[in-house]
Structure 1
Amino acid sequence: MKNVFAVTVGLVVAGLVVFLLYILGPQFFTFPQGANPMDPESIKQNMHLIPKGAMILVIVAHCFGIVGGMIASTAVSENSLIPAYIVSGIIILGTIGGSLAMSHPTWSIISGILSVIAAFFIGRLAAIHKLNEE
């Protein structure tokens, strides 16, 4: 039961990290007029006009979300990396699915997939370190 709670906490933390970084996008990058950064359909229709920096921020958000979620789930679990692996798997699948569903450019899809895989390994090292601290 503790591991189920660990996965839940990890997903909540990952989601919050991703969301907080998502809402920074419009603060730093000018979105096309009429494009609502909080409306997936609007983003999909205006993808060709979205600034590259905003797309890179989305990739970074997913990476930080994976690492944060993995650390949080490991902290709650205290003795297993399995919740961290589940959290990262869900975020990785969500990243891939979202990239394809939102019609991201090819460079964004490829770099997004490669970066979340790299984030998994960084998160894994951080989670192992967390386990060894306790």
Structure 2
Amino acid sequence: MVKQFLHKGFCAVLALLVLISTVSFTVEKHYCGDVLIDVSLFADANKCGMETQGQDLEKTTKKSCCKDEVHVVEGQDKLLKSSNNLEFQQQLFITSFVYTFYNLFESLPKQTIPHKDYSPPKLTTNILVLDQVFLI
């Protein structure tokens, strides 16, 4: 039972590892001056509203104090492994190895327990021994 539970848990962890390694996402940060205003995953970060005022002032001489940083974390996309690039001799070796390894182990015969479905007999007490009455 424990072995089966550990096997299922290990498989689930490996599946999550594959899922996490293939997901890509972006982290977007919006700074107003040196102050972090908003951090967002998967979507645009909320702006502080200074950009609209900065656009009017850009025409004169001032630069906008706001700054956006975008960090892109890309997952891998090369998980597909195929046997098409193997030569015939390599494929023959792999199939023969798997076949011999599979047939290396023999299954045990099924053991039958003949008294599995029978209930034990009811225990009766010996009244003479219980009362300690013995014939002399």
TM-score, length-normalised on structure 2? 0.23
Higher helix share: 1
Higher strand share: 2
- Higher alpha-carbon Rg: 2
TM-score, length-normalised on structure 1? 0.24
Higher relative contact order structure (alpha carbons within 8 Å, sequence separation ≥ 6): 1
